[in-house]
Every structure is written in C-alpha cells, then in structure tokens.
Amino acid sequence: MSNSTKYIFVTGGVTSSLGKGIISASLAKLLQARGYSATIQKLDPYINIDPGTLNPYEHGECYVTDDGAETDLDLGHYERFLNVPTSQANSVTTGKIYQAVIDKERRGEYLGKTVQVIPHITDEIKDRIQILGKKGEFDIVITEIGGTVGDIESLPYVEAVRQMKWEFENDCLVIHLTLIPYLAAAGELKTKPTQHSVKQLLEFGVQPDILCCRTEHHLDLTIRKKIANFCNVGINAVIESIDAETIYDVPLLMQAEGLDKVVLEKLNLSSKDVPNLDSWNSFLHTLKNPKSEITIGLVGKYVELKDSYKSISEAFIHAGVSNECRVNVKWIHSEKLTKANIQEELGELDGILVAPGFGSRGISGKIEAVRYARENNIPFLGICLGMQCAVIEFARNVLHMEDAHTMEIAEDSKFPVITMMEEQKTIANLGGTMRLGAYKCELKPNSNTAIAYNTDLISERHRHRYEFNNEYLKQFEEAGMVAAGKNPETNLIEVVEIPTHPWFVGVQFHPEYKSTVDNPHPLFVGFVNAAKEYKQK
C-alpha cells in the first residue's frame, strides 16, 4: 500500500513517566526544522472520553485546543514545541473509540456482524490515526501511545500498530522508549528491563525500529552494542535519552544522537534541508543566561502536583526568555493562605498569579491573595477562577457587597457577581459541556491587556461555566474595576482591569494554552515585564 503520509508510533516500556510526550515533541521539532510538516497525536488507553472529568491530581492539567477538545497535557508540549495548533483529532481515548463503535452498532452499521475488539475496535483506532494523515496537511504523523506496553488496556492499540506496520510497510515505524536503570551498588547500567520490554512488544508482533533509552548516565559503545544485539536493531537506532536540564534541551540532545537522521533513513525520506534550529538555540541561550530574576507566586489548590499547572509554568519560562529574566515560581497552597500568614507568604513576591480551578476548596485563600495584590500594587494576573476571585474580592472589599460570591460556590448569595452562563443552565451532563475552545474578544484600547497584545481583537481558549454578572458592571466600573475585554457577539466580560493599579488583569480565558517557544504569550510577557518593573522600584 502506498501512502504519502508517514506514520511514526512512540510506545513506552518498563515504566511510565519516561517522557514519551517530550521525545515525540522533540522529534517532531527536528523534522519540522528540516522542512517537514509534522503533527503529534496522543492515544490514551483510559475509558474516560477525555480528561475533562479527571481530577488534576490523577492526570495533571487538562489542556484545551482551539476547537474545544479537553485533552492530555502532552498536547500542550506538542503545541509549545511545534507552534502549530492541535485539534480534536490529536487526542483519542479508549472511551472515544468505544463510544464511536457502539454508536455505529446502534445505527446498524455492522448489521449481521458480531462487534469485536479485533477488527472493530482496532479498525476504529486505525481510522483515528489516519484522520490526521488524510487531511493532507502533514508529511508525518507521530502517534504517541499512552501507558506502558503490556498493560491490558493498551493491547488494542499495540495490535493496531502491528497491523499498520504491515499495511504501510516503509511508511511506518515504531520508536520504543525504555529505561536503562543505573544500579549504584553495582556501579552499572542495566539493559535487562529494556530487553524484556522489547520481548513483550515482539510477543504482540511488533519489532521496534528505534529504541530511545532513558538513562541517568551516558551509554557507552559496549552497552549500545548489547542493546542493539539483544533487541534486533542497528546500533545507530539505539538512541540515548539522558536526563536533561530542561525539556527544551531535548530536541538538541536527540539531534546529537541522530534520532531525526535514523528516522528519515528508515522512512526513505531525504534529509531535505539542514535543520534550522537557530531560534530554538537562541531561546535556550537566553533561558540559561538570564540578565535578571523575579519571583512570582502561583496561588492554587493543586500546587503539590505541579503538572496541574503545566501550561502556566511553561508560559512563565517563555515570557521570562522574552524579558531576558528568570522567573522563579513560588507555589502557594491557597488552602493554607490566611490573613494571618499572607504577609509572610506573599511579602517578597514581584507578582501574583491566582490560578484556574473549580469548587470551593481554597477559595478564601485565593480571594485574600487578590486583596493583597490589589492593596499593595503588586502586579496581578487572575486566570479563569482567578479572575472570578478578583471580581469577588473587589465586590466585597471595595463595593462593600458583603459575602458577594460566585454561584458556583454560593447559589443563594445576595450578590452573585459571578453567575452561571445562560447556555449552561439547561445542561445536565458534566463532561465536555463547558464553554470550551476559542472565542473572540475585543479589548479596550490602551488597557494594559491591549498594550500587552498590541492589538484590539484577540482569540483565546476557554473552559468554564460561570461568568461575570453584567448586572453589576456599572457599579464595578464606577468604583474602578473596568471591563477591558468583551466578547463582541455575546457581551460576556472576558477581561477585567483596575486602571489605577500598575498592572492588575483578570482574564476569563486561558492565555497559558497558547504560549509557545516561538510565540511567548503577550499577556505573560506583559505580566513578567510589570513584575520586573515592580521589583526595580
């Protein structure tokens, strides 16, 4: 079968958390730097339709695409590395696969047939993989299979990979990411877990073409030969993936190991252009040689698990580089923040960010943090729930609306300054029913937000059910908190600012999802710049 799109699968063995997402994104970056268009897709073996209903403690941040898919945080890495938006098609789960197959069964599309894992589930998986290829936009589709080979739930995916390897022959290859542990007592790197993991793949009929070996120590020639020999791959297909100082080093480390070269060889693709990584290199150089340093407090309720705020912390890295400044993030647990310790916790900060979130836990700490930022003229960015907290704080402490609240937490509040969106009122299901994805927003000329974006019309991604209650807008504006951004069609307030404060911005949308290495997000750049100025004073 001939096909113009090439398919690369990335599987994982031995253990989870080896960094398949970063390896996939790094490879895509290298291929992109050689002039190929590449996209990355994540197949997640869990039964949830999407991670939207998963607690961030379980699965880290839920990342949102322009077209409103709630996805795994790896999609964020893909966008940050490639600077190309992903979409619904880039994120597939077992839940989605089964839902589609069961819907087809009900519609009678398999009439007369017994519906089975093979071929119906595997066919659906293969279709989902090829949706991106068939679009004709991409030379190469990299598909990352979540989980670890051998898990019961990932079996249908591995089987789909096996079938595609046969059907697509030279247009398809498998990269297996494994671990080479170092045994300190023996003073040795051990290859056995990798051998076993490759054996397991072989049992399912898949011979990996390339092995990416995650390790804490360099792999010498002897060990590379041993891995090649036991796992049936050429020595140039044994790629060392050593622990890196930052994730942004990984494309260069992979280039030094020749990952892109061996991939192109195996796919019969010419090495087109010499890879151009100039802008990436200069980003890294600035990242590692900052001229100044600031500390921003991130106030949230999931701070024990930093993956819950992945896009925010990465956006700070990008914005820091733009400002030639290292941004240290101080993680502050909103549940532990009180009037009594606020000075001690927030006193040394150059900027305060109140994070997105759901539910009442930690809300009073978030509101206190807003108050501290507002009263002390500390640069402030509130995102989604963080913006809503800014509105609540202003209502309570400036407009003296006692117990003003969001209807999410206090349905019977006398001052529901944050209220449920009209379209949300009739929705019964919780999954995939928020206001999701990109919406336009018109900015107030000369507001801090418009200055940061350097334009008056923007598009940003959303994930929420509640909104600013426009009935109170006049009172807020008269007292000094203004609507600096509105949806031009619905009039929903998307941005609030306090013009008398040096830099106080609350946004209903999530700017962090759109920050990339090539395009640091203007609002984060503006916030970091304001924090730098604050520190200088």
Binding mask 354-373 for ligand GLN (x = CB under 6 A): --xxx---------------
Binding residue count for ligand GLN, defined by CB under 6 A: 10
Give the integer Cα–Cα distance in Å for 388 and 404.
11
Q: At residue 463, what are phi and psi to the nearest 5 degrees? A: -160, 80
The helix (H) or strand (E) run that includes residue 178 is: strand 172-179
Q: What is the 3-state secondary structure (H, E, C) of 373-440?
A: HHHCCCCEEEECHHHHHHHHHHHHHCCCCCCCEECCCCCCCCCEEEEECHHHCCCCCCCCCCEEEEEE
Nearer to ligand GLN among residue 84 and residue 409 (C-beta): 409
**Could you say which of 18, 177, 312, 385 contacts ligand GLN (CB under 6 A)?**
385
Q: Which one from 384, 389, 464, 494 is the annotated catalytic residue?
A: 384
Evaluate whether 143 touches 104 at the Cβ level (below 8 Å): no
Phi and psi based region of residue 47 (left: phi greater than 0; alpha: psi -120 to 50; beta: remaining): alpha
Give the integer Cα–Cα distance in Å for 7 and 316.
33
Q: Which one from 318, 462, 501, 510 is the annotated catalytic residue?
A: 510
Binding mask 170-209 for ligand GLN (x = CB under 6 A): ----------------------------------------
Nearer to ligand GLN among residue 46 and residue 358 (C-beta): 358
**CB of 508 vs ligand GLN, minimal distance in Å:** 8
**335 included as an active-site residue:** no
Evaluate whether 419 touches 490 at the Cβ level (below 8 Å): no
Nearer to ligand GLN among residue 453 and residue 466 (C-beta): 466
**Could you say which of 10, 213, 327, 384 contacts ligand GLN (CB under 6 A)?**
384
**Could you say which of 408, 442, 460, 494 contacts ligand GLN (CB under 6 A)?**
408
Nearer to ligand GLN among residue 62 and residue 399 (C-beta): 62
Binding mask 38-77 for ligand GLN (x = CB under 6 A): ----------------------------------------
**CB of 175 vs ligand GLN, minimal distance in Å:** 34
- Cβ count near 161 (within 10 Å): 28
Q: At residue 24, what are phi and psi to the nearest 5 degrees? A: -60, -45
Cα angle for residues 379, 380, 384 (degrees, 5° grid): 160
Nearer to ligand GLN among residue 350 and residue 408 (C-beta): 408
Nearer to ligand GLN among residue 214 and residue 464 (C-beta): 464
The torsion angle over the Cα atoms of residues 435, 439, 442 and 448, rounded to 10 degrees, is: 80
Evaluate whether 420 touches 470 at the Cβ level (below 8 Å): no
Nearer to ligand GLN among residue 398 and residue 407 (C-beta): 407
**CB of 408 vs ligand GLN, minimal distance in Å:** 5
Q: Is 262 helix (H, G, I), strand (E, B) or coil?
A: helix
- Which residue type, as a one-letter code, is found at position 314? E
- Sequence length of the chain is 537
Residue with tokens 């898949």: 206
Nearer to ligand GLN among residue 394 and residue 466 (C-beta): 466
293 beta partners = 326
**CB of 297 vs ligand GLN, minimal distance in Å:** 18
Q: How far is CA 345 from CA 201, 348, 349, 423, in A?
A: 50, 8, 9, 39
**CB of 201 vs ligand GLN, minimal distance in Å:** 39
Q: Which one from 172, 408, 512, 521 is the annotated catalytic residue?
A: 512
Contact flag: residue 514 with ligand GLN (CB under 6 A):
no
Nearer to ligand GLN among residue 137 and residue 307 (C-beta): 307
Interface with ligand GLN in residues 415-474 (CB under 6 A): 463-466
**CB of 430 vs ligand GLN, minimal distance in Å:** 11
The pairing of beta strand 210-215 with beta strand 172-179: parallel
Q: Which residue, among 117, 210, 182, 143, has the nearest Cα to 8 in the 3D structure? A: 143
**CB of 421 vs ligand GLN, minimal distance in Å:** 8
**CB of 75 vs ligand GLN, minimal distance in Å:** 17
Binding mask 315-354 for ligand GLN (x = CB under 6 A): ----------------------------------------
Long-range contact set of residues 257-264: C-beta below 8 Å, sequence gap at least 24: 259/26, 259/27, 259/30, 259/210, 259/212, 260/27, 260/30, 260/31, 260/34, 261/236, 262/210, 262/234, 262/236, 262/237, 263/8, 263/27, 263/31, 263/173, 263/175, 263/210, 264/31, 264/34
Q: At what angle do helices 122-134 and 94-107 cross, to 10 degrees?
A: 100
**CB of 424 vs ligand GLN, minimal distance in Å:** 8
**384 included as an active-site residue:** yes
> Which residues bind to ligand GLN, rule: CB under 6 A?
356-358, 384-385, 408, 463-466
Give the residue numbers annotated as catalytic, written as ranges.
384, 510, 512
